[in-house]
Each structure stands twice: as structure tokens, then as C-alpha cells.
Structure 1
Amino acid sequence: MDRLDALKLFIRIVESGSFAAAARDIGVGQPAVSKQIASLERYLGAQLVRRTSRSMTLTATGQSVYEAGLRIIGDFTELEASVGHGQVSPSGLIRVTVPPVFGRLYIVPRLPVFFSRYPQVCVDLSATERNVNLVEEGFDLSIKSGPLADSSMISRHLASTPVVVVATPEYLEKHGRPESPQDIEHHTCVVFAPMHEPRAWRFANVEGRGLYVPSGNFRTGDAEQIRAAVLAHMGLVQAPGWLFAAEIASGAVVSVLEDFAPPSLPVHGVHPSGRRLPNKTRVFLDFVAEILAADPRPAFVPV
């Protein structure tokens, strides 16, 4: 039995969720997969998985072997790449998730610089707002704006973005400029409503909780439509500074209620735990941090 191949197969089983799925992935019969894992268990002297007719779960030893195996396979893959090309330059495909507008504004336009530095790295960028299971869906990295949910993933704080309230000069000229959070009750707002529920606006330096639920004729869960609606003079919006940084700089929109701004929102890079971060992923994460550090307020505040 090739122990490295058996370890790779075990990792594939864990990440695909079943022996049958792993067998389909590699084009062999399920009995051959079961035999290979049984041989690995005999070699290690411990049970790695518990199987029933409907489910598969890892034992405590199996979880430890999985996490150690990720590090071993990652190190070996990097070694193969560096030796095979006679150099230690990062190489290979990195799969990344990113919020759609964030990717369009800040990542994609800078990729030519990244590729000039690391020509052997390929980037597969998936634009999505949903929470992705990185391990199950085969992603190496996720760039997230805003607070993180509790997770076993490893995160790196890349930057923070101020929270701003903006509107176009045309809207403010017609409806007046709000001087306090209470004034938004008399204004039309562009309402961010993920899952069809309006998201409350947060303010600091006010009495009480500082939460205000905006109201207006238009609501959406899409950040691109938020931008389009505000630029069409449809009302005020509270948003991360990076979403309107260029327009604030050009004067296309105006920031208001700055004395009541809540704490900045973090921007994180998130990757699976239990494995050594591959060099190709590390250099991409470093590059994103460099991008954000080079874009000062009102877009980002470097860490």
C-alpha cells in the first residue's frame, strides 16, 4: 500500500462525505476504496471512520489523521511543484470566494499586477454573498467584509472599512441634509434587505441602542443595486465605505452623519483550519492585504 496515496484517498473521502462519492471521483469501485482505507487503519492501528448504511462519521483519531494529512499533503504538493520547476515560485490553482461588488472594484482590476509577480498561479474567483463551506466545496480562501460567524476556519484581519451614510448632492439639495440619526425618519432611504428583511442602521454617539430601521420605496439584497439606486438619487444609504469610496472622492455622493459613524467593519481572509497555508494561497492573501492598505479612507483603514 502506498501510504501517501492512501492518505490522499482518506482526505478525499472526508471532504466528499462518503466512500461512494470518493470512488466516483477517482473512477474506481467502492470496494477498492474500502479496502484501501481498511489497510490504512490496520497500518495505523486505529479506526478512522464509523460507517452505517446512511452515514459516515470520523472517530477522534480519524479527525486527527485528517488534519495531519492535510498538512502532509500540502507540504508534499508544494515540494513537488518547487522541485519539478527548479524553483520555489508559487504555482497552481487557487479557488477564492469574494463578495461580487468587492471583487469587481478591488480584486479583478489589480490581478494583472498579481499575475506579473506570480505567473504560475491561476485564480478561480467565485463571486457570492453566501456563506460557503470551503472544505466541502473545494475553496482555498474566502474574502469576507463584515463580522464573521463562529467557525472552525482560520481568519486573518486584512483591513477595516468605515461605515458611511451617503446620498447624491442632487438628493440632498432637494430633501435637505440630515443632521442627526433621528432625521432619517424624514428621508427616503435605499434599504438593504438580505433575506427580504431590512437591515437596521447603526449609529454611535446617540442615546439608546443607536439602531434605526430605514424605510423607502426600494429595497434589495444586492450591493450593486444599492449603488445604482443611490447614484440615481433615490435616497440615503448606510454602507461600508469601500462601496462608495470612488464616488465620495469624486463628489458624486456626499457622506453625512459622520459624527455618528459606528465602529468600522473588518475585512477578513478566511481559510480552512488544520492545514498549512499553501504558498500560492499565502501570496494571494498578502496581495489582497496590500491592495487594501493602498486604498486609504474612505475605503479602508489598514490594520
Structure 2
Amino acid sequence: MDRLQAMRIFVKVAETESFAEAARHLRLSAPAVTRAVAALEELIGARLFVRTTRSVKVTEAGARYLEDCRRILSDITEAEAAAGGIYATPTGTLAVTASALFGPMHVLPIVTEYLDRYPGMRAQTFFVDRPVNIVEEGIDVAVRIGHLPDSGLTAIRVGTVRRVVCGAPAYFERHGVPQTPADLKHHRIAVSTGAWASPEWRFARDQRVTIDPVLQCNTNEAVIATAKAGWGLTRVLHYQIGPALLAGELRIVLADHEEPPLPIHVLHPEGRHAPAKVRAFVDLAVARLRENRFLN
């Protein structure tokens, strides 16, 4: 027996003072209503109604039980509404993570737009160049660059980024433009020692070049600034130099030799049952990142 359903049936019979009328209101058969009340009476061990050919009245025990049933059903409705509200309206604090440069450039504007849309929300950002376990560290949404391992997380692909070799026009005027990856051995190279750092640069068709950098910097911002100044060449992710490319400060070389681009995903751990604060942010982030000209 579904006890909550039986309680709802009992309340409706008490309110309408009729088994048949209760059945019509609840869209049940009259025998189903009768069986539900009988099952409750057997469970409780007391008569709930006095039945005559003309009326159905609650007994003294039934009157007390009716009051309790109304309170219990009201509490359940209130609890469901409160829980459902979490999934209907964004509330609380949203925690978002992305890499140290990508986050401020392309995720932070989405976070601030989100907060403007939902003034009652709060947000925390974690822009770091290290693996973040979003479940263990309490992160609601992550934006990840690269191929993803198998996991139970929901992942939505929103774009791609390329690894590109770049330099300033002034550098190429002085030192020439490399035509193949092997030509990089004859150029001055600056590299970042960050997350993507590797002495071996890989290119399409299994071409590999071991780089002997003259300058090593601990941030991508530093090597990009060095390249913009015309000092040497560097290799970064395409999105990182988007504004500099538009301004003509940097130029990409060896584009025909690039590896396939890396995917970008928006991840969250709760799938279809994610609360409204997560679903609202994911929807906005997916739309904005897919619109971003530097990520496609």
C-alpha cells in the first residue's frame, strides 16, 4: 500500500463525505478508494468512518487522524516545494574553475554576466593551472581544455583551441619566417614553464622538434610579452594571443604543420539533476563560449 496516497484518499473522502465523490476528484475507481480506506483502517486498527446509506462521517479516531494527515501532507508539500525551488531558481553560491589565463580572459566575463542576471547569487572562481577534482573540492562547474578522461561528469563541448607558434612582424623582418618545424632550431625561442611546458614540440605528421629555449618564463603572459616585443618566437594556445593577432602585434607561423586542435568542454557533476544555479550558468557559458571567435 502507498501510505501517502492512501492518506490523500482518506482526506478527500472526509472532505467530500462520499467515497464516490472522492473517487471522481482523484480520478480513481470507487473500489480503489474503498480498498485504500480499508487498508488504512486495518493498519491503524480503528474505524475511520461511520457509513450509512446516506452519509459518510469520520469517527472520533478518524477526526484525530484527519488532522494529523492534513498536517503530514502539508509538511510533505512544503518540503517538496522547498527542495524543488533549488532546482527552479538560481540560489546560493556558484564555484567555477578554469585555467589561470583562460579563466580571466574568457570565463570571468561570463561569471559577471551571470551575476548581473541573478542578483541574489554569489560566485567564487578558482583559476589555476593544476588538475582540480571538482567533486572533492566542491566545484560546481569547470571549463577544461584538452582531451578528457572517462568520468561520470557531464561534459559539453563548446569549442577548440590550437597550439600555435608565433612571433612579432618585426622579428620576422630581421630573422626570417620558419617554413618547417625543423627551422625552429635556427630561431630564438622563449618558453613558458607552466602546465603545457615540454622540451619537445610536436607537429602534424609526427614531426617532432626538441627545443633549446634561450629564455624560460614561469607564465604565459611573460613569453607572450616577449614575443610581442620582437625578441623571439614562442608557442602558446591560440586563444591566449587572440587580441594581439587582431592588433597585428603577433603573427602565427607554421600553421600548416599544427597538430589537431584541443577540445574545450564545460563540465559539471550532477547531470540532468543539477540545481538551477548550475543549469543557468552552464546554459550561459555554453552559449557565450560557442560564440567566442577565438575558440573555434
TM-score by length of structure 1 reads 0.64
Does the aligned pair in 1 maintain the 2:199–2:212 contact within 8 Å? no
User: Quick one: structure 1 residues 300 and 197, their matched pair in 2 at CA, closer, same or farther if it must change by over 3 Å?
Assistant: closer
| Residue aligning to 1:294 | 291
Does the aligned pair in 2 maintain the 1:198–1:219 contact within 8 Å? no
Query: What is the DSSP-based 3-state SS (H/G/I as helix, E as strand, rest coil) of the residue aligned with 1:116?
Result: helix
Query: What is the DSSP-based 3-state SS (H/G/I as helix, E as strand, rest coil) of the residue aligned with 1:79?
Result: helix
**How far is the alpha carbon of 1:211 from its aligned partner?**
2.1
Does the aligned pair in 2 maintain the 1:187–1:236 contact within 8 Å? yes
The residue type paired with residue 236 of structure 2 is: A
**How far is the alpha carbon of 1:197 from its aligned partner?**
5.9
| Residue aligning to 1:210 | 207
| Residue aligning to 1:47 | none
Within-5 A mapping of 1:20-39 = none
User: Quick one: structure 1 residues 275 and 287, their matched pair in 2 at CA, closer, same or farther if it must change by over 3 Å?
Assistant: closer
Query: What is the DSSP-based 3-state SS (H/G/I as helix, E as strand, rest coil) of the residue aligned with 1:137?
Result: coil
The residue type paired with residue 269 of structure 1 is: V
**How far is the alpha carbon of 1:285 from its aligned partner?**
1.9
| Residue aligning to 1:253 | 250
For residues 178 and 158 of structure 2, what CA distance do their matches in structure 1 show? Answer: 32
Query: What is the DSSP-based 3-state SS (H/G/I as helix, E as strand, rest coil) of the residue aligned with 1:134?
Result: coil
Query: What is the DSSP-based 3-state SS (H/G/I as helix, E as strand, rest coil) of the residue aligned with 1:170?
Result: helix
For residues 166 and 89 of structure 1, what CA distance do their matches in structure 2 show? Answer: 45
Runs of 5+ in structure 2 lacking a partner?
Answer: 1-79
For residues 274 and 120 of structure 2, what CA distance do their matches in structure 1 show? Answer: 17
CA shift digits 1:220-255 (9 cap, x unpaired): 453222322322333222222111011111101011
Q: CA RMSD in A?
A: 2.5
User: Quick one: structure 1 residues 293 and 127, their matched pair in 2 at CA, closer, same or farther if it must change by over 3 Å?
Assistant: same
Query: What is the DSSP-based 3-state SS (H/G/I as helix, E as strand, rest coil) of the residue aligned with 1:216?
Result: coil
User: Quick one: structure 1 residues 289 and 196, their matched pair in 2 at CA, closer, same or farther if it must change by over 3 Å?
Assistant: closer
| Residue aligning to 2:238 | 241
| Residue aligning to 1:283 | 280
1:231 aligns to 2:219 (yes or no): no
The residue type paired with residue 207 of structure 2 is: G
**Larger Cα-atom Rg:** 2
For residues 118 and 195 of structure 1, what CA distance do their matches in structure 2 show? Answer: 34
Instruction: Choose 193-202 or 282-291, whichever is displaced more.
Output: 193-202
| Residue aligning to 1:45 | none
**How far is the alpha carbon of 1:91 from its aligned partner?**
2.1
User: Quick one: structure 1 residues 148 and 222, their matched pair in 2 at CA, closer, same or farther if it must change by over 3 Å?
Assistant: farther
**How far is the alpha carbon of 1:165 from its aligned partner?**
1.5
The residue type paired with residue 84 of structure 2 is: L
- The percent identity for this pair of structures is 29
For residues 148 and 229 of structure 1, what CA distance do their matches in structure 2 show? Answer: 31
The residue type paired with residue 102 of structure 1 is: F
| Residue aligning to 1:134 | 134
Query: What is the DSSP-based 3-state SS (H/G/I as helix, E as strand, rest coil) of the residue aligned with 2:125?
Result: strand
